[in-house]
Amino acid sequence: MSDFRPILRPALATKKAVASAALKLSPLPEGTILHVLARSGEQDIVPLLDSLAKPAAHAVRPVSPGQWFIVHEEPMHHKEMKSLFAALEPRATGVDQSHGRVRIRIEGKMASRALSKGTAVDLDPSAFPIGQSAVTLIGHIAAHLTRVAPEAFEIIVLRGFAESLWDDLARMSLEYI
């Protein structure tokens, strides 16, 4: 079946963006999410990650001590990914999470208010500036949150929970739509 071309089915394929002047919630295209896990004791690895990531804002996002996500809008070819992973060694390991994680964007002047219905992280710009990331519970679901603009956040969530989190976010946004 070498002529067969598998078709990608995005986890949030059936979800349409919801938007108003105050808030917009939208599923992001399933591009590339690489999970980088540094060797213990490894210092200053971020410049290496920056050099390997595509030149885009917030392409490298901290996950936890010694771990990052490298995020690209576009899917990455298998070979390209393998060579990126090879370039990380031996300082770090790369794990493909492009399908294991799903991105959602929430933006607008009420975005942080809506998110505060789920997370206990203080989202005031003074405490959570642009570029800051945190893994936190949003309601009952753990997710990775990054402020990508003064009034915009990206959420990275496990694929299996993506629909549930979307439904929760939509409900949390209801009063601003």
Partner 1 sequence: MASLVPCPHCGQRPKEEFTIKGAALTRPAAGAEAADWFDYVYLRDNPRGAYEEYWHHTSGCRRWIVVTRDTVTHDVAASRDAADRARSEART
Partner 2 sequence: MSSYRLPKGGLVDREAPLSFTFDGRPLRGFAGDTLASALLANGQMLVGRSFKYHRPRGILTAGAAEPNALVTVGSGGRTEPNTRATMQELYEGLEAQSQNRWPSLDFDIGALNGLLSPFLGAGFYYKTFMWPAPLWEKFYEPFIRKAAGLGKASYEADPDSYEKSWAHCDLLVIGAGPTGLAAALTAGRAGARVILVDEGVQPGGSLLFDTAMIDGKAAADFARAASAELQSMPNVRLMMRTTAFGWYDGNVFGAVERVQKHVRDPAPHLPVERLWRIVARHALLATGAEERPLVFGGNDRPGVMMASAMRAYLNRYRVAPGRATAIFTTDDSGYALARDLEAAHVDVVAIVDSRSSAGVDYRGKARLIREAVVCGTKGRKAISAIEVHRGGRTETIAVDALAMAGGFSPIIHLACHRGGKPAWSAEKAAFLAPDGLKGLDVAGAAAATTDLAACLAEGATRAKAIVTEFGLSCPPVVLPKVEGDEGRHTAKPLWSIPGVKGKAFVDFQNDVHLKDIGLAVREGYSHVELAKRYTTNGMATDQGKLSNVNAIGLIAKARGVSPVEVGTTTFRPFYTPVSFGALTGAHTGHHFQPVRKSPLHDWAKKHGAVFVETGLWYRSSWFPRTGERTWRESVDREVLNVRKNAGLCDVSMLGKIEISGRDAAEFLNRVYCNAFLKLPVGRARYGLMLREDGMIYDDGTTSRLEENRFFMTTTTAYAAGVMNHLEFCAQALWPELDVRLASITDQWAQMAIAGPKARTILQRIVDEDISDAAFPFLAAKEVSLFGGALHGCLFRISFSGELAYELAVPAGYGVSVADALMDAGKDHGIMPYGVETLSVLRIEKGHVTHNEINGTVVPADLGFGKMVSATKSDFIGKAMLQREGLAASDRPQLVGVMPLDPSQSFRSGAHVLATGAAATLENDQGYVTSSAYSPHLGSTIGLALVKNGSSRHGEEVMVWDGLHGESSPARLCNPVFFDPQNQRLHV
Q: Smaller CB distance to partner 2: residue 14 or 51?
A: 14
Contact stretch for partner 1 (CB under 8 A) within 1-9, 89-97, 133-141, 161-169: 133-141
Phi, psi of 11 (to 5 degrees): -60, -30
Site residues for partner 1, 105-124, by CB under 8 A, read 120-121
Does residue number 158 form part of the binding site for partner 1 (CB under 8 A)? no
26 to 55: interface string for partner 1, x by CB under 8 A: --------------x---------------
State whether the Cα torsion 77-68-133-155 is positive or negative: positive
Report in angstroms how near the CB of residue 163 gets to partner 1 at its nearest.
19
Q: Smaller CB distance to partner 2: residue 4 or 55?
A: 4
Does residue number 164 form part of the binding site for partner 1 (CB under 8 A)? no
Per CB under 8 A, the list member of 73, 142, 150, 167 interacting with partner 1 is: 142
Q: Smaller CB distance to partner 2: residue 96 or 151?
A: 96
List of residues contacting partner 2 (CB under 8 A) = 1-11, 30, 35, 37-40, 78, 90, 93, 95-101, 113, 116-117, 119-120, 122, 124, 126-127, 139-141, 158-161, 163-165, 167-168, 171-172, 174-175, 177
Cis check for the bond before 65: say yes or no (omega within 30 of 0).
no
Q: Which helix (H) or strand (E) holds 95?
A: strand 92-96
Which of partner 2, partner 1, none does residue 63 bind to, with CB < 5 to 8 Å depending on kind? partner 1
Identify whether the C-beta of residue 71 lies closer than 8 Å to the C-beta of residue 103: yes
Does residue number 63 form part of the binding site for partner 1 (CB under 8 A)? yes
